[in-house]
Structure formats: structure tokens, C-alpha cells
């Protein structure tokens, strides 16, 4: 198939970006979206140009590295699919495809489609863990966890930290990301002792990193490649309110 | 000077070695620990766990990874599960059984003491992960659930749906994050190690490149830990992430660290076949599918041809025209035969011209009978997410038409040589996880890599590293040492040389060419002729690379072509080491199959039906050893030293899965 790509190009964090147009000719429809970009890059290199930079690693939808906004949608048109798992048969011959980075104030562009998402790491560092030292753990079956609870924790824990939720939100809010981690840990008996502290500190870190408030439109849920449900956000709001109230009392 | 390989295995009965060793290990008091610094390269299960734990103990840690976050290391992609001898199922599992299964699975080419320790430590890993909040699958009673995996007869695999690696890695990432926020670990993401700095024979630091600014800088420490994963991408196409590389390990090798058993590479039988030359990586379909899927190809070449050109639908092939070759050849293990056997059999039928898929390189994994027997819903409950993944990639519905699968490179058992303390022959250089050679011998069992990475990172290294550090004056070597300056200049020079070639061919084109060659000559079946041919071809490709590669842009910016070029340059040297090892090992064992060494009708073992023609033939008289290779110059045959393997607790038998 033959396509036209309109791609965001930006040399460095501080330079000004622009859209450039590239033809993508003779693309096999079995290729993945990133393989299509590989083919285009091979041709750009052969012609002496600078290849399009984009983040990727596992190419199987789990590492969270790929981060393309395709035709205005983070990770593109297929639901529950990362850009690396999107295949070209979902496009039509002759299509024009817009490819841009995940945009947010807290995710500055480093080059072309590559953005800096270290803000997410700093939010986890603020409290997205259980404080247990290696070697101090009791036998794993000492504390039974009801299957439903464990499954619910798992559903939130599948977040791949890609940042699509932020890119989709008009306020660039990180509430889905933060609430998924808080739900995962606060739902488990092991995570309860630090429940309040975790909610308070992660929300505070999120605010400090420049993410906006929840828009309540749940675009985040719609684009999430792992279908993390937005009801996590309500749970986080509740945990946060309780923790804040308790904090005010003590 | 000949290489001295002292395995440092403690004396005493096998089940007491580790306990005794811990008792006898050196201790550093808490106040002094703070004075020592350790560099950990890698943030996967091995590196992340090691960095977090060393910091908890009080050491000052610097951790490095090439991704934008430590959470994205390739351990994240592991699907199936992690083994541990908990015996929660009460099905007769024990530390000794896990020990034995791992020794046998490795085709008796691993060190007994290391494997036993791994089996012992497996118990603590599960406890640790659960305490961290890893959401393993549970039964309705609230206790942990288990599944079984290839090559074993007990249920000892803990899992978190099809995302076990992700959940374990998030556990270690969160432990690491806790230590970063406490100030014990300084994290350097998007930072690639380009060289190891050796001062007076000891590893004392690394040279890195900041992948965003391009700045090349030096970091000194009292000890260095490499946990940089496997080298499967030497084949170009593999189930590894695109960035996986051998650079860190190979740079250490060039600085004096011995590389052990590089020819032990694992091919996974159930991956999605290659569909075209644009293909950038291969996707694993979990081994668990072989529990219900039946593997077959057409009995005749003519039917296979019709399927390949789309003239015949697989569903319309009559029962008598189907060859369920694994069930036929291995009636008792059938479709669940170990990975190397299943892979080689697929290659054989495709070589005969009976392969399916447009390229002829594919076999069917068919769920028709299972769906008829158990119903659509129960198959979907078991494998729903895998079927979806398959459909996403292939655009075909496996409920209606059989999956196509083909073997692909998946894991590398070889790695840097380490002793019982996980220290290489270069004092101060420690190696953990897939990057070392230690525990899996010639073949790794499913669900054992995650176990080994976490064993090394959480439990072994944090305790053994003190044996080295206790004799070191903390902070004695700093970045101002002339060796750092020297190494920095060398690395900068190499980067500049790469950029100045300004040739005509892309980096990927060289990587592809190398990968095809290695897959062909040093893949599932290896021969003397093929390997000798590869050893002639590799230097030619390498020479062309160094005169004709084109890397656009400069070194002072984010430059992905430059990153790839550095890695491919190392693969182009490493590939030769791989082939030398495969050539030298005149036997077949585990993942290393030499066509010259297989059982024939003439062998007594075949006549008394302990095995059958075509099976791998070990040579225990001559090859019961670890092959440790020393670098001797680019293009020069490396120097071999053998570490003999002694077996006191297992009996060497033919690995039969009939
Ligand atoms: C698709 C797939 C499925 C698997 N499923 C299973 C399974 O079910 N069970 C099982 O037990 N095993 C499984 N394995 C194997 C297992 O996942 C790996 O062997 C294991 O996770 C490796 O962990 P590691 O910590 O050694 O390395 P990795 O997780 O690969 O980490 C390597 C780290 O080193 C860093 N690094 C590498 N080079 C450099 C450099 N030059 N400079 C700086 N940093 C560098 C990387 O950034 C990364 O942080 C699977 C493997 C694959 C590919
Ligand atoms: S590249 Fe890993 S999720 Fe897309």
C-alpha cells in the first residue's frame, strides 16, 4: 500500500518543531506500524536524510516504550492496542497518516517523536511501593488474599506506564496512571499500612510535575492500551480525601 | 599468563554449601558499608533487584539502563511464570527435585553447587515478591495458585496471568524506586555503558554515553555489577526487545573477562513465523498453548504446497493427510516435548518441504480438537488473551483456523564466566541474570530465568559481594585515575570513527545480514562446514561495516542510528566467538545441536530403545566442562580454558523424553 506520512520533526528539546511530509510507498499490509516506520527510515537514510526518531523496545505491547499519537489518538485507532502492535492492514491504500509525539507539559519532546516521561518515575518514587526490605518477608501463604481482591489488584497493576492517558487528556492529567498504582497497592493487605501516605504523596508529586486536574471526560480510559478502568480515579479520590482528612486531624 | 578459573565452590554436602558459605562470608559493618560504592548496569530483574537490595544494605549504588525508565527492561516481556520449590501443591516437589530437574533440563552441563543454591533460594523469592505486592494468581481460598511447565512433572510455576515478568519487574522497580527516593541509589536512565574500566586488574568503573545529550563520561566505583541481559539479538530476529545487546558483556570480555559457553542458545518452538524481510522482531506465543494445541504439518509436500499458495484451507486437510509429528515421535511427552526437541522437529519437517506459511517456514498449532472436546468457552478462558494477541498480529482467528508457528531465538544460556560468588575472573566485576552463564547449563527450563535473575539480584549477590569488597580500600580509585582518561579517549575515538565512515549502507542492513548468516549456520542445527563458512563470512561483513556503514547525524544529540551501530559493531565480533565455541564443542547437548553428533541405528542406546536415531548425542568423556574463552584480538581465535564439571549428586543419563 502507498501512504503519506505527516510527521512531527524536532531536533532537540529546545528547538522548534514542524510537520514534515514523507511518502510511504509499497508498504506490506502485514507490517506493523513501527515496521512501516523502519521501512521509511531505511529510505530516508539511503537518500542521505535524518531518520525519524521514535521510542520503542519490546514491540509486543508490554514495555510501554512506544509513544506515538497517530491521527490524533495516542497509540492510534485500534482499541486496547499499543502503537507497536498496530498493523498496517487497519489503514487504507492512499491514506494520509499524522504522527506526533505524546504531548503534555510534563513530557517534553527530546527529539522528533521521543518524549521525556521521567516524571512518571518520580511519582512512583514518591510512594508507589511497599516498604519491605529484601529478606524480611514471611512465607508467601501466611496471608491469604481473596481471589477477587487479588484479581482486582492485578487489573490495575497491568498499567505499562506509557503515558497515553496523559496525552489523551485535555488537561494532561496523570490521574489514571496514579490511581492505577494506588489501587493496585492499596487493595492488597500488604499495601494497607502505607495507604494514606501513598495516596497523599503520589498526588502531591503528580501536581508538582505539572500534570493537570482530571477533566472527568475519561479519554484516558478510552486510549489505555491495557484497558485500565477509570473507576480507579474515583477510588483514588476517596483514598486521598480520607487520607487528607486524617492528616488534618493529626 | 594462563587464565585461572577458580569456581570458589564451598566444600561440604551440597545442601549445606550455601548456608555454610553465607556463614563464612565476609561481613562489612553498617558504618563502613556506606563508604563503598557499587555500579549496577541493568535494571531488569537481576539488576533492579541487586541495586535495590545493595542500597538497602547500605552501599551507595549507581544504576544504569538504556531505556527511558528502569521499569522497561526486557524482563517485562516474560509471560509464563516463575518456578519455586514451595510444594504448595503437595505433589512431591522439593528443593532436591527442582535441583535435579534443572540439572537434567540443562543436559548436565551446569555446576551442581550453583544449581542447588538456586533451588534453595527459589523459596525466598516468592515470599519476597508477595510482600512487595506482586499480584500472583490465587485460588478461591486466597492461597497462591500454580501451573506446570515443560520438562517437569510437578506444578511449581507461580504466575500472574500471561504477564508474570511484568509483575515481577514492577515489584523490583518499585523496590528500586523506594531506594532512589531514599537517596541510596542514583539512577541513570537512557544511559548506555560503552566500556569497562580496569585498574590494576580490577574492574573499577565504566564509561557511559548519555543517550540524550550524547555526552560521554566516566563513573568509578569499588565494584561493578553487570546485569545486562542476553545476546539473542546476534541473530537479528529474536523474541528479545529491539535494544537487547551484548555490548556491556562483550566490552568486559575485551577487557579480560572470560566468556563461557556462548554456543548454548535457546530456540523457542512456539513463535509467530516471519512474514517478510521487513520483519523487525519475533513474537513468542506462550508455551502453555502446547497443553491443548496439536502440532502438525501435511504428510506430503504436494498438500503443503497447496496450503502455501492458498489453494487448500488447513481445515480441509483430511485426518490421514496430517502428520502430528511430535505425537508420532515422542508418544509420552508428545506436543509437550522440551523446547529444543520441538524446535528441531519443526525445522526437519520444513526442510523436507512440508512447512506451511507462505515462506514454507511454519507448522500448525491446531485447537480444533480441543475446542470440540472442551468447548469454545473453556479454551477461551485458558488462552483468550493469547488468541487475541495472535489475531492482532496475523489478522487470523485461531478459533477458526489453526495458528502458524515456527521456532525463534529466545534465550541465551551462555554468558560471562562467574564463580560461586558471581564474580568473573576479573576481580570486582560481578555478573547477574541472563548475562552470566551460571545455572542453566546447555538448556534452560521454562520459568527458570525469572527465578535465576531474582535469586542473583535479591539474595546471592548482596551476600557474596562483600567477599570482594572487604579487601578493598573504599574509594581508592576515582575518575581522575589515568586509566579512566585513557578509556574515555578510546571510547570517544571509536564513536567518532563510526560517525566518520559516512558509507552507503544502513546499520540495520548489516545486522540483518549477520543475523541471517548466524541463524543459518549457528542456529537450530550446526555443522563443521557451516560454522567454518560462517567464520569466513563474518569478518567480511565486519570489514564492510567498518568501511561502508552510514550513520546520519552527530554524536552530540539523541542519535538512534549511532546507538544501533555501536551494538551491531559488537555483535559483528561476538558472532565469531559464538561460532568458535560451537565449532569446538564436538557434541550435541541442550540448545547446541551438531549434526555430526546424533544417535544412529548403530548405537547401542538406540538398539536398546533408550533413545532414537536423530537425537542429540552428548560426549561426556570429552566435554563435561565449561568452555571459557579469553579475548585474543579482533579476528583472532579466542583462547580456550576449560573448567571441568564434577557431578557428585546426579547421575549423568541420556536426556530422554520419549
Ligand atoms: C518474550 C520472552 C518471554 C519470556 N518468558 C519467560 C518466562 O515465562 N519465565 C522465565 O523464567 N523466563 C522467561 N523469559 C526469559 C527472561 O525474561 C529473561 O531471561 C530475564 O528476564 C532476563 O533478566 P535480566 O535482568 O538478566 O535482563 P533484562 O531484563 O534483559 O535487563 C537488562 C538490563 O540491562 C540494561 N542494559 C543492557 N545493555 C546495557 C548497556 N550497554 N548499558 C546500559 N544498560 C544496559 C537494560 O537497559 C536492562 O535494564 C522470557 C524471555 C522473553 C524474551
Ligand atoms: S514497544 Fe514495548 S509497548 Fe510498544
At B512 the three-state DSSP class reads: helix
Q: Is B26 known to be catalytic? A: no
C-alpha cell at A132: 519491605
B579 has pLDDT over 90: yes
CA-based nearest distance B502→chain A, Å: 10
- The minimum-distance atom of ligand 1 relative to the CA of B434 is 26
The answer to whether residues B559 and B214 touch, using CB atoms and an 8 Å cutoff, is: yes
Please give the residue of chain B at the shortest CA–CA distance from A129.
Answer: B174
Map out the domains of chain A with their CATH numbers: 3-111 (3.10.20.30), 117-249 (1.10.1060.10)
pLDDT at B653: 85
CA-based nearest distance A244→chain B, Å: 22
The DSSP symbol for B458 reads I
Of residues B416, B443, B441, the one with CA closest to residue B430: B416
pLDDT at B336: 83
pLDDT band at B426 (very low <50, low <70, confident <90, very high): very high
Instruction: Please name the residues between 146 and 185 in chain A that touch chain B, using a CB distance below 8 Å.
Output: 146-147, 150-151, 153-154, 157-158, 160-161, 184-185
Report CA(A153)–ligand 1 centroid distance (Å). 25
pLDDT at B657: 60
- CATH numeric code, B268-409: 3.90.700.10
* CATH architecture of the domain with range B482-644: Up-down Bundle (1.20)
Residues of chain B with CATH 3.90.700.10: 268-409
Is the CB of B122 inside a 6 Å radius of any atom of ligand 1?
Answer: no
When CB atoms are compared, the residue of A12, A42, A60 closest to B77 is A60
Looking at every residue in chain B, the average pLDDT score rounds to 95
From the candidates B339, B344, B354, B542, give the one annotated as an active-site residue.
Answer: B339
Residues of chain B with CATH 3.50.50.60: 32-263+411-469
Residues B106, B101: Cα–Cα separation, whole Å: 8
- CATH numeric code, B32-263+411-469: 3.50.50.60
Residues 6+ apart with CB under 8 A from A151: B135, B138
The answer to whether residues B626 and B642 touch, using CB atoms and an 8 Å cutoff, is: yes
Residues 6+ apart with CB under 8 A from B229: B42, B44, B73, B74, B240, B244, B433, B434, B435
Of residues A42, A33, A126, the one with CA closest to residue A71: A33
What does the pLDDT look like over B272-288, one tens digit per residue? 999 888 999 999 998 88
Is the CB of A161 inside a 6 Å radius of any atom of ligand 2?
Answer: no
What does the pLDDT look like over B140-191, one tens digit per residue? 999 999 988 766 778 999 999 889 999 999 999 999 999 999 999 999 999 9
Residues B129, B459: Cα–Cα separation, whole Å: 12
- The minimum-distance atom of ligand 1 relative to the CA of B70 is 49
DSSP codes joined into one string, B350-413:
HHTT---STTS--EEEE-HHHHHHH-HHHHHHHHHHHHHHHHHHH---TTTS-EEEEEEEEEE-
B338 has pLDDT over 90: no
A231 interface with B at CB cutoff 8 Å: no
Residues of chain B with CATH 1.20.58.100: 482-644
Give the least confident one: B229-238, B457-466, B555-564, B649-658.
B649-658
What does the pLDDT look like over B499-538, one tens digit per residue? 999 999 999 999 999 999 999 999 999 999 999 999 999 9
Is the CB of A56 inside a 6 Å radius of any atom of ligand 2?
Answer: yes
Please give the residue of chain B at the shortest CA–CA distance from A67.
Answer: B68
Q: What is the ipTM of this complex?
A: 0.98
CA atoms within 13 A on the CB side of B608: 4
- Judged by its nearest atom, the ligand closest to the C-alpha of residue B71 is 1
Given the DSSP bridges, would you call strands B185-188 and B191-199 parallel, antiparallel or unpaired? unpaired
Residues B546, B379: Cα–Cα separation, whole Å: 52
CA-based nearest distance B597→chain A, Å: 36
Residues A132-144 have a mean pLDDT of: 95
CA B90 to chain CA mean position, Å: 31
Amino acid at each position: 500500500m502507498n501512504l503519506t506520512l505527516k510527521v512531527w520533526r524536532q531536533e532537540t528539546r529546545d528547538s522548534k518543531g514542524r510537520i514534515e511530509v514523507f511518502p510511504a510507498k509499497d508498504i506490506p499490509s502485514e507490517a506493523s506500524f513501527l515496521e512501516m516506520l523502519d521501512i521509511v527510515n531505511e529510505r530516508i537514510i539511503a537518500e542521505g536524510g535524518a531518520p525519524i526518531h521514535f521510542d520503542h523496545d519490546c514491540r509486543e505491547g508490554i514495555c510501554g516504550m512506544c509513544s506515538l499519537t497517530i491521527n490524533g489518538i495516542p497509540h492510534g485507532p485500534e482499541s486496547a492496542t499499543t502503537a507497536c502492535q498496530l498493523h498496517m492492514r487497519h489503514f487504507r491504500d492512499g491514506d494520509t497518516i499524522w504522527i506526533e509525539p505524546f504531548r503534555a507539559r510534563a513530557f517534553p519532546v527530546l527529539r522528533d517523536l521521543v518524549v521525556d516521561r521521567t516524571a512518571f518515575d518520580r511519582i512512583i518514587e514518591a510512594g508507589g511501593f511497599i516498604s519491605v526490605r529484601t529478606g524480611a518477608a514471611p512465607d508467601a501463604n501466611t496471608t491469604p488474599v481473596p481471589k477477587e481482591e487479588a484479581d482486582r489488584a492485578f487489573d490495575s497493576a497491568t498499567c505499562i506506564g506509557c503515558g497515553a492517558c496523559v496525552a489523551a487528556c485535555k488537561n494532561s492529567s496523570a490521574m489514571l496512571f496514579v490511581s492505577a498504582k494506588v489501587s493496585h497497592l492499596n487493595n492488597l493487605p500488604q499495601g494497607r499500612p502505607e495507604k494514606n501516605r501513598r495516596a497523599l504523596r503520589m498526588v502531591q508529586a503528580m501536581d508538582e510535575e505539572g500534570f493537570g486536574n482530571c477533566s472527568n471526560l475519561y479519554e484516558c480510559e478510552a486510549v489505555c492500551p491495557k484497558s485500565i478502568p477509570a473507576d480507579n480515579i474515583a477510588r483514588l479520590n476517596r483514598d486521598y480525601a480520607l487520607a487528607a482528612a486524617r492528616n488534618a486531624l493529626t | 599468563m594462563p587464565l585461572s578459573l577458580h569456581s570458589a565452590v564451598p566444600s561440604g554436602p551440597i545442601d549445606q554449601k550455601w548456608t555454610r558459605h553465607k556463614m563464612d562470608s565476609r561481613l562489612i559493618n553498617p558504618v563502613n558499608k556506606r563508604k563503598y560504592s557499587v555500579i549496577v548496569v541493568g535494571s531488569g530483574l537481576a539488576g533492579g533487584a541487586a541495586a535495590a537490595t545493595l542500597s538497602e544494605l547500605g552501599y551507595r549504588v549507581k544504576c544504569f539502563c538504556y531505556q527511558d525508565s528502569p521499569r522497561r527492561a526486557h524482563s517485562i516481556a516474560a509471560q509464563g511464570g516463575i518456578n519455586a520449590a514451595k510444594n504448595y501443591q503437595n505433589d512431591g516437589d522439593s528443593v532436591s527435585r527442582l535441583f535435579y530437574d534443572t540439572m537434567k533440563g540443562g543436559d548436565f552441563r551446569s555446576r551442581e553447587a550453583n544449581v542447588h543454591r538456586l533451588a534453595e533460594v527459589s523459596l525466598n523469592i516468592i515470599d519476597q515478591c508477595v510482600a512487595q505486592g506482586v499480584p500472583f494468581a490465587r485460588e478461591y481460598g486466597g492461597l497462591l495458585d500454580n501451573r506446570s511447565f515443560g520438562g517437569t512433572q510437578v506444578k511449581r510455576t507461580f504466575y500472574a496471568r500471561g504477564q508474570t515478568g511484568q509483575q515481577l519487574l514492577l515489584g523490583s522497580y518499585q523496590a528500586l524506586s523506594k531506594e532512589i527516593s531514599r537517596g541510596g541509589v542514583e539512577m541513570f536512565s537512557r544511559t548506555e555503558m560503552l566500556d569497562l574500566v580496569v585498574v590494576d586488574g580490577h574492574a573499577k568503573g565504566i564509561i557511559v554515553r548519555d543517550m540524550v545529550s550524547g555526552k560521554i563520561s566516566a563513573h568509578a566505583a569499588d565494584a561493578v555489577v553487570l546485569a545486562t541481559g542476553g545476546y539473542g539479538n546476534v541473530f537479528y530476529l529474536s523474541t528479545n526487545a529491539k535494544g537487547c545487546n551484548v555490548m556491556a558483556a562483550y566490552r568486559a570480555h575485551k577487557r579480560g573477562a572470560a566468556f563461557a559457553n556462548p554456543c548454548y542458545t535457546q530456540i523457542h518452538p512456539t513463535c509467530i513465523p516471519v512474514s517478510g524481510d521487513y520483519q523487525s522482531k519475533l513474537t513468542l506465543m506462550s508455551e502453555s498453548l502446547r497443553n491443548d494445541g496439536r502440532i502438525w504439518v501435511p504428510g506430503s509436500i504436494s498438500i503443503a504446497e497447496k496450503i502455501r499458495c492458498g489453494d487448500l484451507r488447513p481445515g480441509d486437510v483430511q485426518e490421514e493427510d496430517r502428520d502430528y509429528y511430535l505425537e508420532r515421535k515422542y508418544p509420552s511427552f508428545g506436543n509437550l516435548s522440551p523446547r529444543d526437541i520441538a524446535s528441531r522437529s519443526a525445522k526437519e519437517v520444513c526442510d523436507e518441504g512440508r512447512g506451511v506459511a507462505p515462506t514454507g517456514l511454519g507448522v500448525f498449532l491446531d485447537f480444533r480438537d480441543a475446542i470440540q472436546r472442551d468447548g469454545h468457552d473453556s479454551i477461551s478462558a485458558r488462552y483468550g488473551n493469547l488468541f487475541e494477541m495472535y489475531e492482532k498480529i496475523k489478522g487470523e482467528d485461531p478459533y477458526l483456523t489453526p495458528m502458524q508457528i515456527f521456532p525463534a531465538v529466545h534465550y541465551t544460556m551462555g554468558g560471562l564466566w562467574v564463580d560461586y560468588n558471581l564474580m568473573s575472573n576479573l576481580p570486582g566485576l560481578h555478573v547477574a541474570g541472563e548475562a552470566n552463564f551460571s545455572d542453566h547449563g546447555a538448556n534452560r527450563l521454562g520459568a527458570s530465568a525469572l527465578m535465576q535473575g531474582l535469586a542473583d539480584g535479591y539474595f546471592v549477590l548482596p551476600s557474596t559481594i562483600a567477599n570482594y569488597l572487604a579487601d578493598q580500600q573504599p574509594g581508592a580509585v576515582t575518575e581522575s585515575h589515568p586509566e579512566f582518561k585513557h578509556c574515555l579517549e578510546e571510547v570517544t575515538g571509536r564513536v567518532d570513527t563510526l560517525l566518520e565512515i559516512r558509507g552507503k549502507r544502513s546499520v540495520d542492513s548489516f545486522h540483518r545480514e549477520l543475523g541471517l548468516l548466524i541463524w543459518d549456520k549457528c542456529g537450530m542445527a550446526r555443522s563443521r562446514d557451516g560454522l567454518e563458512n560462517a567464520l569466513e563470512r563474518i569478518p567480511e561483513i565486519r570489514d564492510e561495516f567498518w568501511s561502508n556503514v552510514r550513520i546520519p547525524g552527530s554524536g552530540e544529540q539523541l542519535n538512534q542510528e549511532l546507538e544501533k551501530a555501536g551494538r551491531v559493531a559488537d555483535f559483528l565480533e561476538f558472532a565469531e566467538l559464538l561460532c568458535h565455541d560451537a565449532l569446538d564443542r564436538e557434541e550435541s547437548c541442550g540448545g547446541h545441536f551438531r549434526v555430526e553428533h546424533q544417535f544412529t541405528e548403530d548405537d547401542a542406546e538406540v538398539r536398546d530403545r533408550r533413545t532414537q536415531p536423530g537425537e542429540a548425542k552428548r560426549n561426556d568423556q570429552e566435554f563435561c566442562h565449561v568452555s571459557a574463552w579469553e579475548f585474543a584480538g579482533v579476528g583472532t581465535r579466542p583462547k580456550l580454558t576449560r573448567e571441568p564439571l564434577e557431578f557428585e549428586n546426579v547421575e549423568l543419563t541420556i536426556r530422554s523424553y520419549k
